[in-house]
Amino acid sequence: MTSQTICGMDFEQFVYDMEDFHGARAPGIIVGALMLDTVLEKVPESPDLVITVETVTCLPDAAQVLTSCTTGNGRLKVYDWGKFALTASNRETMQGVRTWVIADAVAKWPLINDWFNPAQRKGDSPKFDDLVPVFFEARNDLIGVRDVRIVGEDHVFKKKKTGICEKCGESYNLRCGPVCSACQGKAYYLPS
């Protein structure tokens, strides 16, 4: 393991917190942590910080372990685009920094390539403890960075107006329409 810090946190403590939150030691969370460490230098932690991740895998957990942005407080936006990329932005200024894994750089690092491209792998998946120092060494090659301006309704933070659904009697966000999403036929469940 390494005696470095990540996002101002002792790395050993981060690994402990990651394992506690995520349920395992995950190489993808280490990459996400390095990405966050990079963008938070330009968009610091604050009540106006928003993290947007472009995959449902690992990056959301890295953001929730290392920042105050969570799905519950609405400052972690998760898109299921399958891209290992994230953006840190300020919800007041709408300015941010986007970072991503540079696909061409992955091939330059055989151990990272074996982890990142499992279909090309010959043999077992690389071990977490073997990958960590390589991720730190490859960081500047591996992570792309670009300043961005945030656009789109999903990132405009308006106070939510709630009401009671006239069909089911449950509280819901009025932006869904005259009745809740479930009563509009969009429920993910069926009564049993």
Residues 27, 131: contact at Cβ < 8 Å?
Answer: yes
The 10 Å Cβ neighbour count of residue 124 is 7
Mean of pLDDT values over 39-50 = 93
164 pLDDT higher than 60? yes
pLDDT tens sequence across 104-143: 999 999 999 999 888 888 888 899 999 999 999 999 999 9
CATH of 160-192, one of 3.40.50.2300, 3.40.50.720, 3.30.60.80, 3.40.50.970: 3.30.60.80
Collect contacts of 53-56 with beta carbons under 8 A, ≥24 apart. Answer: 53/77, 53/78, 53/79, 53/85, 53/86, 54/79, 54/81, 54/82, 54/83, 54/84, 54/85, 54/86, 54/100, 55/79, 55/80, 55/81, 55/82, 55/83, 55/84, 55/85, 56/80
pLDDT tens sequence across 50-108: 999 999 999 999 999 999 999 988 899 999 999 999 999 998 899 999 999 999 999 99
CATH of 5-155, one of 3.30.70.20, 3.40.50.1100, 3.30.1330.130, 3.40.640.10: 3.30.1330.130
